[in-house]
Structure 1
Amino acid sequence: MPQTAQPDRKRKGIACAGNWILDTVHTISHWPEKSGLAIIESQHIDLGGGPANVALGLKAIGASYPIIPIGLIGAGAMGDEVVRLCAEARLPIKSLRRTTRATTSQTHVMNVQGDSRTFFHHRGANSLFDADSINIDSFSVSGIKLFYLGYLTLLDKLDEILPTGKTVAAQVLAEIRANDIQTCVDLASFKSDTYRDVVNGTLAAIDYLFANELEAQQATGVTLTCGADTQNMMEAARLLKSGGVRQAVIVHSPNSIVWYGNDVQLAAIPEPIPTAEIISAVGAGDAFASGVIHGIHEDWPVQSCLKFGMRTAAACLSGYTATDGLKTLTVSANPP
């Protein structure tokens, strides 16, 4: 069990809401100097954003429970491609709304194989995704167990801070929790003057919070840039948990992971992966989240949730897109 609260075993399924993005992943020869030139060696187009990566990741590993995409996409060709890719993955599209007011959100990812990746992002329709874009009744009556929102701090309308100090996202998440659905929230690696205020204004409506080391540092002020200091990562997780997170804060980096929960606080170290075996790190954090969220959904022990999350993250590194590599995994009936 991830925590001491008794799970609702009758509920099944995960709603994945927030940033739905069309990603173009460019694998480049090297990162060029200013005004320089790099060769694009390959291109891969796929869905991106936390909700898409988690939903597709869960589908890729063979999760059998309902997975519901919730988002806002454009009315044009890029939106058509999002719909096509969802249909290809056998994801329902009823809750993916479309708008003529903005184009589908897109990201161009520059990936240097074996090194790192850099993102050029256009917010597009995601900047219009608001509380009215989420029809809580439509998935609440179906018995959904978990609601995943990503990325907080990159959803303009939901990040809005109200006079109470709470965010619009906090209001939405509180209503979802009132329907006996647990909330999982992921942050974005995006610097802004209001970043900490947005996070703090939402914490009390979150059951499980995911953040990488850079996001946790920005949200708390605790220095985590090396991503290997489990003591400081635990302190950052503790500070976020003290802001009102109901169940657990999970802070992750390529080098270490911490879980700070009500009754369990532990650190885990992923097995190192040879650089030559890493094709792309795109979506590795979301892949980790999908593995952990699957474990939470299945009421696995904390150690099993983290172990499976590390497996999904490692598998992700072997593919060009956020979910290519996850197809090598399958879920098991028993916790790992």
Structure 2
Amino acid sequence: MRTGEEIRDSEKQSRRGIVCAGNFIVDRVHTLSYWPEQGNLAHIVHQDVGVGGGAANVVADLASLGFPGKLGAAGCIGADIDGEIVKTRLVDAGIDIGGLQVLSGRATAHTHVMNVPGQNRTFFYHGGANDAVTDALISPAIFAEAGYRLFYLGYLMLLPGLDGIDADGRSGASRLLEAARNAGLTTCVDFVSSEDPEFAAKVGVSLPYCDFLIINEIEAERATGVTVRDANGDLIEAGLLTAGERLLAAGVAKGAIIHAPEICFWFTPGAAPVVTRSRPVDPTEIVSTVGAGDAFCAAVLYGLHENWPVERTCAIAHAAAARCLGGATATDGVPDMSVLLADANEMHPV
């Protein structure tokens, strides 16, 4: 006879779909001739407009990958031109926007991304409607009833209505993730690389309600206090191992995935971590680094949903991030999954 937990797991596997909740942003990516000193002038040599933010990027990437299930979006936008850009982008990709609320008193969140080829990008951000997102405005139960399986929330530390800790020691994010779990959804979480001094405390209260955590090495350091890069910027792999163990100990239930440009560590309770290394990308092929981490995350969610082996999922996620580097916006470099499967087989036979 099957246990109650086995029955619940079986019911989850019969569901098909991923809902992405959190940030929906319009990105205006300006490619500059150089980065000017204060008071000087630089030319904008190219400009692209795209939809960005954790939830928007991940759900759009999943659509680009040809995800074989339902895709839904949940969050807030403004009643403005940028809000229409978000809705049009998602609807054109076949994504259900029924969970996307329009707030008349807020502007749609937007970012001016300053990109100098070969250098890190710089962001100028207005939170707008994203700042108004609370756990009361998103209903995971609706998506569970519609047959979705995975509930992604991103980015924590860029959703002030969810990040703050209340008098009960809980955050809106922790309550939202708990509601998703109670509805039968598997919860997946991503952070943004905020420098908030309360980073560890704010994300920490959500970890016990997180099934899978998918973050980069900088976010792992800020969440755990473990140094992961030395003074020269080189990765400290022993530090990543410690950080992963601490995330599991803090309550992450099924998997903590820490990715960096060089490597990925996948931690599972009671098992040795799985380590996969990326293939170096020719700097001349990098158009923009915007969205590479979200492409990695989208591929991980795809693999989780399809029950792929961890090694295969990580190889494909590395390939997704590498392909994203060739696009100007956060999502336009992500190809169909068939392309990533071929890329991954070249890097790591799977």
Does the 8 Å contact 2:227/2:236 carry over to 1?
no
Deviations 1:268-307 (A, max 9, x none): 2110011011111100000000011100111111111111
- Tell me the equivalent position of 1:276: 284
Confirm or deny that 1:261 pairs with 2:289: no
Confirm or deny that 1:111 pairs with 2:119: no
Confirm or deny that 1:13 pairs with 2:17: yes
Comparing 59-68 with 217-226, greater Cα deviation is found at: 217-226
Does the 8 Å contact 2:141/2:180 carry over to 1?
no
- The Cα of 1:166 is off from its aligned counterpart by 2.3
- The Cα of 1:149 is off from its aligned counterpart by 0.2
- The Cα of 1:267 is off from its aligned counterpart by 1.9
- The Cα of 1:164 is off from its aligned counterpart by 3.0
Of 189, 192, 198, 2:196 maps to 192
- Tell me the equivalent position of 2:3: none
Q: Distance in 1 between matches of 2:318 and 2:119?
A: 19
Does the 8 Å contact 2:57/2:294 carry over to 1?
yes
Query: Residue 278 of structure 1 aligns to which amino acid in structure 2?
Result: I
Does the 8 Å contact 2:141/2:179 carry over to 1?
no
Does the 8 Å contact 2:76/2:129 carry over to 1?
yes
Does the 8 Å contact 2:66/2:336 carry over to 1?
no
SS at match of 2:148: coil
Q: Distance in 2 between matches of 1:15 and 1:264?
A: 30
SS at match of 2:28: strand
SS at match of 2:59: helix
Query: Residue 96 of structure 2 aligns to which amino acid in structure 1?
Result: P
Q: Distance in 1 between matches of 2:176 and 2:68?
A: 27
Q: Distance in 2 between matches of 1:210 and 1:36?
A: 39
Does the 8 Å contact 1:213/1:227 carry over to 2?
no
Deviations 1:69-96 (A, max 9, x none): 1110001121112112122222222111
Confirm or deny that 1:139 pairs with 2:146: no
Confirm or deny that 1:158 pairs with 2:162: yes
Deviations 1:204-237 (A, max 9, x none): 0000112212111111111123362222112111
Query: Residue 310 of structure 2 aligns to which amino acid in structure 1?
Result: V
Q: Distance in 2 between matches of 1:224 and 1:135?
A: 36
- Tell me the equivalent position of 1:248: 255
Deviations 1:145-188 (A, max 9, x none): 10000011111111121223221211111121112210000001
- Tell me the equivalent position of 2:331: 323
Q: Distance in 1 between matches of 2:67 and 2:321?
A: 16
- Tell me the equivalent position of 1:300: 308
Comparing 85-94 with 301-310, greater Cα deviation is found at: 85-94
Comparing 197-206 with 227-236, greater Cα deviation is found at: 227-236
Q: Distance in 2 between matches of 1:113 and 1:164?
A: 46
Q: Distance in 2 between matches of 1:36 and 1:73?
A: 34
Structure 2: runs of 5+ lacking an equivalent? 1-5
- Tell me the equivalent position of 2:84: 80
Q: Distance in 2 between matches of 1:290 and 1:315?
A: 13
Q: Distance in 2 between matches of 1:241 and 1:229?
A: 19
SS at match of 1:234: helix
- Tell me the equivalent position of 2:318: 310
Q: Distance in 2 between matches of 1:29 and 1:280?
A: 14
Please provide the CA RMSD for this pair. Answer: 1.9
Query: Residue 85 of structure 1 aligns to which amino acid in structure 2?
Result: R
- Tell me the equivalent position of 2:174: 170
- The Cα of 1:328 is off from its aligned counterpart by 5.3
SS at match of 1:290: helix
Does the 8 Å contact 2:211/2:255 carry over to 1?
yes
Query: Residue 143 of structure 1 aligns to which amino acid in structure 2?
Result: G
Confirm or deny that 1:124 pairs with 2:128: yes
Query: Residue 246 of structure 1 aligns to which amino acid in structure 2?
Result: A
- The Cα of 1:193 is off from its aligned counterpart by 2.5
SS at match of 1:94: strand
Does the 8 Å contact 2:48/2:328 carry over to 1?
yes
Structure 1: runs of 5+ lacking an equivalent? none
Instruction: Return the structure number with greater relative CO, CA threshold 8 A, min gap 6.
Output: 1
Does the 8 Å contact 2:154/2:190 carry over to 1?
yes
Q: Assess, with a 3 A threshold, how the Cα gap between structure 1 residues 227 and 156 changes in structure 2: closer, same or farther.
A: farther
Deviations 1:109-155 (A, max 9, x none): 11111222111111111010011221223211111110000011111
